[in-house]
Chains A and B, each alone.
Chain A
Amino acid sequence: DTEVTQTPKHLVMGMTNKKSLKCEQHMGHRAMYWYKQKAKKPPELMFVYSYEKLSINESVPSRFSPECPNSSLLNLHLHALQPEDSALYLCASSQGTLPEAFFGQGTRLTVV
Protein backbone atom coordinates (compact mmCIF):
# COMPACT_ATOMS: atom_id res chain seq x y z
CA ASP A 1 0.00 0.00 0.00
CA THR A 2 1.70 3.17 -1.20
CA GLU A 3 -1.12 5.58 -0.62
CA VAL A 4 -1.96 8.41 1.69
CA THR A 5 -5.75 8.46 2.11
CA GLN A 6 -7.61 11.61 3.11
CA THR A 7 -11.25 11.95 4.09
CA PRO A 8 -13.50 13.63 3.33
CA LYS A 9 -12.64 14.71 -0.22
CA HIS A 10 -14.88 17.78 0.06
CA LEU A 11 -16.16 19.62 3.12
CA VAL A 12 -18.38 22.66 3.48
CA MET A 13 -18.64 24.09 6.97
CA GLY A 14 -20.04 27.15 8.68
CA MET A 15 -17.90 29.49 10.75
CA THR A 16 -19.37 28.13 14.00
CA ASN A 17 -18.97 24.46 13.12
CA LYS A 18 -16.45 21.96 14.42
CA LYS A 19 -15.16 19.41 11.94
CA SER A 20 -12.17 17.12 11.49
CA LEU A 21 -10.04 16.12 8.54
CA LYS A 22 -8.56 12.63 8.58
CA CYS A 23 -5.44 11.17 7.01
CA GLU A 24 -4.19 7.58 6.99
CA GLN A 25 -1.08 5.85 5.66
CA HIS A 26 0.11 2.26 5.95
CA MET A 27 3.61 2.63 4.53
CA GLY A 28 5.27 2.58 7.94
CA HIS A 29 6.25 6.22 7.57
CA ARG A 30 7.12 7.92 10.84
CA ALA A 31 6.70 11.52 9.75
CA MET A 32 3.33 13.03 8.76
CA TYR A 33 2.44 16.51 7.62
CA TRP A 34 -0.39 18.92 7.02
CA TYR A 35 -0.12 21.44 4.20
CA LYS A 36 -2.53 24.15 3.09
CA GLN A 37 -2.82 25.06 -0.59
CA LYS A 38 -4.74 28.04 -1.95
CA ALA A 39 -5.74 28.14 -5.62
CA LYS A 40 -2.82 28.64 -8.01
CA LYS A 41 -0.36 28.73 -5.09
CA PRO A 42 2.17 26.20 -3.82
CA PRO A 43 1.46 24.04 -0.76
CA GLU A 44 2.42 25.71 2.53
CA LEU A 45 3.57 23.64 5.48
CA MET A 46 1.36 23.82 8.57
CA PHE A 47 2.42 21.01 10.91
CA VAL A 48 4.94 18.19 11.08
CA TYR A 49 4.62 15.13 13.30
CA SER A 50 7.67 12.98 13.80
CA TYR A 51 7.27 9.68 15.66
CA GLU A 52 3.79 10.82 16.74
CA LYS A 53 5.09 14.00 18.34
CA LEU A 54 4.46 17.49 17.01
CA SER A 55 7.83 18.76 15.86
CA ILE A 56 6.96 21.75 13.68
CA ASN A 57 4.09 24.22 13.95
CA GLU A 58 4.48 26.94 11.34
CA SER A 59 2.70 29.63 13.40
CA VAL A 60 -0.70 28.22 12.51
CA PRO A 61 -3.74 29.82 14.27
CA SER A 62 -5.18 27.82 17.15
CA ARG A 63 -8.46 27.28 15.27
CA PHE A 64 -6.48 24.49 13.54
CA SER A 65 -5.60 21.71 15.97
CA PRO A 66 -3.60 18.69 14.79
CA GLU A 67 -3.67 15.28 16.42
CA CYS A 68 -1.66 12.13 15.77
CA PRO A 69 -3.42 9.21 17.51
CA ASN A 70 -0.90 6.66 16.20
CA SER A 71 1.81 6.29 13.60
CA SER A 72 -0.70 5.65 10.79
CA LEU A 73 -3.27 8.36 11.50
CA LEU A 74 -3.24 12.13 11.45
CA ASN A 75 -6.21 14.38 12.14
CA LEU A 76 -6.77 18.09 11.75
CA HIS A 77 -9.50 19.47 13.99
CA LEU A 78 -11.19 22.63 12.76
CA HIS A 79 -13.14 25.12 14.88
CA ALA A 80 -14.39 28.64 14.26
CA LEU A 81 -12.79 28.91 10.84
CA GLN A 82 -12.96 31.97 8.62
CA PRO A 83 -13.90 32.10 4.92
CA GLU A 84 -10.24 32.82 4.09
CA ASP A 85 -9.37 29.39 5.49
CA SER A 86 -11.07 27.84 2.46
CA ALA A 87 -8.38 25.87 0.64
CA LEU A 88 -7.13 22.41 -0.30
CA TYR A 89 -5.69 20.70 2.78
CA LEU A 90 -3.04 18.15 1.95
CA CYS A 91 -1.69 15.41 4.14
CA ALA A 92 1.70 13.85 3.43
CA SER A 93 3.99 11.26 4.96
CA SER A 94 7.65 10.37 4.67
CA GLN A 95 10.02 7.75 6.01
CA GLY A 96 11.67 10.31 8.25
CA THR A 97 15.17 9.43 7.15
CA LEU A 98 14.27 10.67 3.67
CA PRO A 99 12.41 13.94 3.30
CA GLU A 100 10.63 12.76 0.16
CA ALA A 101 6.96 13.15 0.97
CA PHE A 102 4.04 11.20 -0.43
CA PHE A 103 0.89 13.28 -0.65
CA GLY A 104 -2.76 12.42 -0.35
CA GLN A 105 -5.36 13.79 -2.75
CA GLY A 106 -6.41 16.47 -0.33
CA THR A 107 -9.63 17.71 1.26
CA ARG A 108 -11.23 20.66 -0.51
CA LEU A 109 -12.55 22.81 2.37
CA THR A 110 -15.05 25.62 1.91
CA VAL A 111 -15.94 27.83 4.89
CA VAL A 112 -19.22 29.70 4.52
Chain B
Amino acid sequence: GESVGLHLPTLSVQEGDNSIINCAYSNSASDYFIWYKQESGKGPQFIIDIRSNMDKRQGQRVTVLLNKTVKHLSLQIAATQPGDSAVYFCAENLGGSQGNLIFGKGTKLSVKP
Protein backbone atom coordinates (compact mmCIF):
# COMPACT_ATOMS: atom_id res chain seq x y z
CA GLY B 1 0.00 0.00 0.00
CA GLU B 2 0.97 3.68 -0.12
CA SER B 3 1.83 5.70 2.94
CA VAL B 4 2.96 9.24 3.52
CA GLY B 5 5.48 9.45 6.33
CA LEU B 6 7.58 12.27 7.66
CA HIS B 7 9.62 12.32 4.48
CA LEU B 8 9.07 10.58 1.17
CA PRO B 9 5.80 8.84 0.36
CA THR B 10 6.47 5.13 0.13
CA LEU B 11 4.87 2.48 -2.03
CA SER B 12 5.46 -1.17 -1.11
CA VAL B 13 4.65 -3.86 -3.65
CA GLN B 14 5.23 -7.57 -4.01
CA GLU B 15 7.65 -8.74 -6.68
CA GLY B 16 5.74 -9.52 -9.86
CA ASP B 17 2.87 -7.14 -9.10
CA ASN B 18 2.22 -3.97 -11.06
CA SER B 19 3.13 -0.62 -9.49
CA ILE B 20 1.44 2.71 -10.00
CA ILE B 21 3.22 5.87 -8.90
CA ASN B 22 1.30 9.12 -9.02
CA CYS B 23 2.36 12.72 -9.40
CA ALA B 24 0.48 16.00 -9.36
CA TYR B 25 2.16 18.78 -11.31
CA SER B 26 1.76 22.47 -10.76
CA ASN B 27 1.84 24.41 -14.00
CA SER B 28 -0.87 24.04 -16.64
CA ALA B 29 1.54 25.54 -19.21
CA SER B 30 4.07 22.73 -18.78
CA ASP B 31 4.61 21.06 -22.14
CA TYR B 32 6.82 18.09 -21.37
CA PHE B 33 7.12 15.62 -18.52
CA ILE B 34 9.74 13.11 -17.51
CA TRP B 35 9.89 10.28 -15.01
CA TYR B 36 13.24 9.69 -13.35
CA LYS B 37 14.46 6.81 -11.19
CA GLN B 38 17.03 7.56 -8.51
CA GLU B 39 18.80 4.76 -6.71
CA SER B 40 20.62 5.38 -3.45
CA GLY B 41 23.87 7.28 -3.96
CA LYS B 42 23.26 7.85 -7.67
CA GLY B 43 21.98 10.60 -9.91
CA PRO B 44 18.49 10.53 -11.44
CA GLN B 45 18.14 8.20 -14.42
CA PHE B 46 15.72 8.91 -17.27
CA ILE B 47 12.90 6.35 -17.55
CA ILE B 48 10.27 7.72 -19.92
CA ASP B 49 8.91 11.03 -21.13
CA ILE B 50 5.66 12.37 -22.54
CA ARG B 51 4.67 15.57 -24.33
CA SER B 52 1.59 17.52 -23.40
CA ASN B 53 -0.12 16.66 -26.71
CA MET B 54 -0.23 12.99 -25.69
CA ASP B 55 -2.11 11.21 -22.93
CA LYS B 56 -0.28 7.89 -22.89
CA ARG B 57 3.13 6.58 -23.80
CA GLN B 58 4.53 3.10 -23.39
CA GLY B 59 8.06 1.88 -22.93
CA GLN B 60 9.55 -1.40 -21.93
CA ARG B 61 7.54 -2.48 -18.83
CA VAL B 62 6.62 1.14 -18.14
CA THR B 63 3.66 3.29 -19.15
CA VAL B 64 3.12 6.96 -18.45
CA LEU B 65 -0.36 8.45 -18.37
CA LEU B 66 -1.03 12.18 -18.51
CA ASN B 67 -4.31 13.81 -17.47
CA LYS B 68 -4.02 17.52 -18.22
CA THR B 69 -7.51 18.27 -16.93
CA VAL B 70 -6.52 17.51 -13.36
CA LYS B 71 -2.74 18.05 -13.85
CA HIS B 72 -1.92 14.47 -12.97
CA LEU B 73 0.79 12.13 -14.17
CA SER B 74 1.24 8.45 -13.37
CA LEU B 75 3.92 5.86 -13.96
CA GLN B 76 2.92 2.24 -14.25
CA ILE B 77 5.56 -0.45 -13.88
CA ALA B 78 4.55 -3.92 -14.99
CA ALA B 79 5.82 -7.04 -13.21
CA THR B 80 7.82 -5.05 -10.67
CA GLN B 81 11.24 -6.45 -9.84
CA PRO B 82 13.57 -5.92 -6.85
CA GLY B 83 15.82 -3.85 -9.13
CA ASP B 84 12.97 -1.37 -9.51
CA SER B 85 13.36 -0.36 -5.86
CA ALA B 86 14.32 3.32 -5.90
CA VAL B 87 12.90 6.81 -5.53
CA TYR B 88 10.84 7.94 -8.51
CA PHE B 89 10.48 11.59 -9.42
CA CYS B 90 8.24 13.20 -11.99
CA ALA B 91 9.56 16.39 -13.55
CA GLU B 92 7.76 19.03 -15.58
CA ASN B 93 9.29 21.32 -18.13
CA LEU B 94 8.00 24.84 -17.68
CA GLY B 95 8.28 25.56 -21.36
CA GLY B 96 10.95 26.39 -23.88
CA SER B 97 13.70 24.23 -25.25
CA GLN B 98 15.96 24.50 -22.20
CA GLY B 99 15.61 21.81 -19.60
CA ASN B 100 14.13 23.99 -16.90
CA LEU B 101 12.80 20.97 -15.07
CA ILE B 102 10.86 21.25 -11.85
CA PHE B 103 10.83 18.03 -9.87
CA GLY B 104 7.94 16.63 -7.85
CA LYS B 105 8.41 15.43 -4.28
CA GLY B 106 9.27 11.83 -5.18
CA THR B 107 7.93 8.41 -4.19
CA LYS B 108 10.02 5.64 -2.73
CA LEU B 109 9.18 2.27 -4.27
CA SER B 110 10.06 -0.79 -2.19
CA VAL B 111 9.72 -4.19 -3.83
CA LYS B 112 9.34 -7.19 -1.54
CA PRO B 113 10.74 -10.48 -2.89
Contacts and interface: CB of A to CB of B under 8 A. Distances in A.
Interface of A: 4, 31, 33, 40-45, 48, 50, 55-56, 90, 92, 94, 96-106
Given A40-B7, A99-B93, A100-B49, A31 B99 contact: yes
A104 B44 CA distance: 8
Chain B, interface size: which category?
Answer: 20 to 34
B97 A92 contact: no
24 contacts: A4-B43, A42-B89, A42-B103, A42-B104, A43-B44, A43-B103, A48-B98, A48-B100, A55-B98, A56-B98, A90-B43, A92-B99, A94-B98, A94-B99, A97-B97, A99-B32, A99-B93, A99-B96, A99-B98, A103-B36, A103-B44, A105-B41, A105-B42, A106-B42
A78 B13 CA distance: 42
B109 to A, nearest CB: 14
A97 B34 CA distance: 15
Contacts of B41: 105
B92 to A, nearest CB: 10
Contact of A102 (B8, B46, B98): B46
B102 interface: yes
A48 B105 contact: no
Nearest to A102: B46
Contacts of B43: 4, 90, 92, 103-106
Interface of B: 7-8, 32, 34, 36, 41-46, 49, 89, 93, 96-106
Nearest to B93: A99
Contacts of A101: 34, 46, 99, 101
A96 B83 CA distance: 31
A105 B49 CA distance: 20
Contact of B45 (A43, A94, A103): A103
Contacts of A33: 99
A31 B46 contact: no
Contacts of B96: 99
B90 to A, nearest CB: 9
B106 A100 contact: no
